């Protein structure tokens, strides 16, 4: 039995999120079915993090055990021959027998895309938050700087989270303009449920000049109601996951 670590990319549009569910088409189920076709083994994969319905991944990390003759570093190629066109294996390699993509992650990076034009917005509706109103990008960038660092992100977390603590260390939170897009890149030692989408919703409110409470106030009071709304899932991408070594 050998454990394989694999980096995968997916377009989440046509899936009910990553995690296996009864009566819903999910990324996990699709990959496990393809692994079954490939190996005739009933393989259960673990992942670095669930993604919600409509959320995408540029570099999700999964792991699984197999007795197959396919070597770990060739599993990506083998899997790509049968994966649907909206899921790709980018890289695979041998992992330690106890490697777990979530528990051992030391850093995760998310990206959030905002499409700012009215024109042709229908072509980006599944891949960005389409937001054509005027935004004060400088003010949003100022708020990004305040989000960096170690804080209690309780106010930026949806109810239903099972996290033990809501303290997280945000290594980077940067917002840049690129053509018709605003791109938010945020990396941290971990993320609470909906944290990036609530941060984005708050930044958009700041950009509109409609956010009453500034970032430091929200951190001080830790009230979800003081932060902005949860931005839509379509703009969110799990960009990368880092491990020691």
Residues acting as catalytic residues: 52
- Which is closer to a second copy, CB of 141 or CB of 234? 234
Contact 131, 204 (CB under 8 A): yes
CB of 125 to a second copy, least distance (A): 6
Distance CA 44, CA 100 (A): 12
- Minimum CB distance to a second copy, residue 22 (Å): 26
Nearest approach in angstroms of CB 86 to a second copy is 6
Q: Nearer to a second copy by C-beta: 113 or 175?
A: 113
How far apart, in Å, do the first and last CA atoms of the chain sit?
23
**Per the structure block, which two tokens stand in for 238?**
């799990």
From residue 90, give the alpha-carbon distance in Å to each of 1, 9, 61, 80.
22, 7, 10, 9
Q: Which is nearer to a second copy, 127 or 156 (CB)?
A: 127
Residues that bind a second copy (CB under 8 A): 9-11, 56, 58, 85-88, 120, 122-123, 125, 127, 179
Nearer to a second copy, 124 or 219 (CB): 124
Tell me phi and psi for residue 152, to 5 degrees.
-90, 115
d(CA 21, CA 97): 26
- Distance of closest approach, residue 153 Cβ to a second copy, in angstroms: 28
């Amino acid at each position: 039995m050998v454990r394989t670590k694999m980096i995968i990319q997916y377009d989440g549009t046509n899936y009910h999120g990553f995690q296996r569910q009864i009566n819903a088409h999910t990324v996990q189920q699709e990959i496990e079915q393809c692994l079954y076709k490939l190996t005739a083994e009933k393989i259960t994969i673990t992942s670095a993090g669930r993604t919600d319905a409509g959320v995408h991944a540029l570099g999700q990390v999964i792991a699984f055990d197999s007795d197959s003759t396919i070597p770990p570093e060739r599993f990506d190629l083998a899997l790509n021959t049968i994966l649907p066109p909206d899921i790709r294996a980018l890289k695979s390699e041998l992992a330690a027998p106890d490697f777990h993509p979530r528990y051992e992650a030391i850093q995760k990076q998310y990206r959030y895309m905002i499409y700012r034009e009215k024109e042709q917005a229908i072509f980006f509706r599944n891949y960005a938050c389409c937001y054509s109103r005027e935004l004060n990008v400088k003010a949003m960038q100022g708020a990004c700087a305040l989000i960096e660092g170690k804080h209690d992100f309780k106010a930026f977390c949806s109810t239903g989270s099972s996290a033990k603590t809501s303290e997280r260390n945000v290594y980077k939170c940067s917002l840049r303009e690129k053509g018709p897009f605003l791109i938010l890149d945020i990396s941290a030692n971990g993320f609470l449920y909906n944290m990036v989408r609530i941060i984005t919703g708050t930044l958009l409110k700041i950009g509109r000049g409609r956010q009453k409470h500034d970032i430091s106030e929200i951190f001080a009071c830790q009230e979800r109601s003081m932060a902005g709304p949860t931005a839509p899932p379509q703009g969110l991408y799990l960009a990368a996951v880092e491990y020691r070594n």
